[in-house]
Amino acid sequence: MSSAVQTLKNSGLRHTGSREEVLDLFLSADHALAHSDIEHGLGPDHDRVTIYRTLRTFLDKGIIHKVLDDEGGTKYALCRETCTDGHHQHEHVHFKCETCGQTTCLDEVHIPAVSLPQGYNRKEMNLLIQGVCSDCNK
Ligand SMILES: [Zn+2]
Ligand SMILES: [Zn+2]
Ligand SMILES: [Zn+2]
């Protein structure tokens, strides 16, 4: 069984061709994917709505998380382990490389604790650091 199929099974999701293909894209990428990357990766026989719904389902099931990019774009990346209770258990830094344009999860780098004024409830945190990644620094 491929790891994509295994992940769908573990998350209680029905196996469909597009779910498996989208998941395969994430499993083979080592950086976050934008909606357009996924469209290009899948080819023309997948429509935008199906891809959108698939991403939505994966977000809800804790398989992928949102990566806020610069300029207001959204990318998505695999959760290292399935997030069963919201995505706040892995609040890590994201790094956007100005040279290759790719955004990577720095899973080991946690977002420092931030205390909010009274009356504010935190739902999610995003921290994007921009610079040059280790591949481009060689
Ligand atoms: Zn997550
Ligand atoms: Zn780079
Ligand atoms: Zn991430």
pLDDT tens figures, 92-120: 999 999 999 999 999 999 999 899 999 99
User: How far is ligand 3, taken at its centre, from the CA of residue 117, in Å?
Assistant: 26
Whether residue 88 is predicted with pLDDT greater than 80 in this model: the reply is: no
User: How far is ligand 3, taken at its centre, from the CA of residue 80, in Å?
Assistant: 8
83 is in an annotated binding site: no
User: How far is ligand 3, taken at its centre, from the CA of residue 39, in Å?
Assistant: 20
Give the separation between CA 12 and CA 134, rounded to whole angstroms. Answer: 37
Tell me the ligand closest to 88's alpha carbon.
1
Hunting for tokens 């395969």 — which residue is that?
24
Long-range contacts of 50-54 (CB under 8 A, 24+ apart): 50/18, 51/18, 51/22, 54/18, 54/19, 54/22
Neighbours of ion ligand 3 (CB under 5 A): 77, 105
User: Chain-wide mean pLDDT for the chain?
Assistant: 92
**Domain locations in the chain as residue ranges:** 3-131
pLDDT band at 4 (very low <50, low <70, confident <90, very high): very high
Predicted pLDDT of residue 137: 94
Cβ 125 vs Cβ 111: under 8 Å? yes
Tell me the ligand closest to 83's alpha carbon.
1
136 is in an annotated binding site: yes
Tell me the ligand closest to 135's alpha carbon.
2
Provide the CATH number for the domain formed by 3-131 in this structure.
Answer: 1.10.10.10
pLDDT band at 1 (very low <50, low <70, confident <90, very high): confident
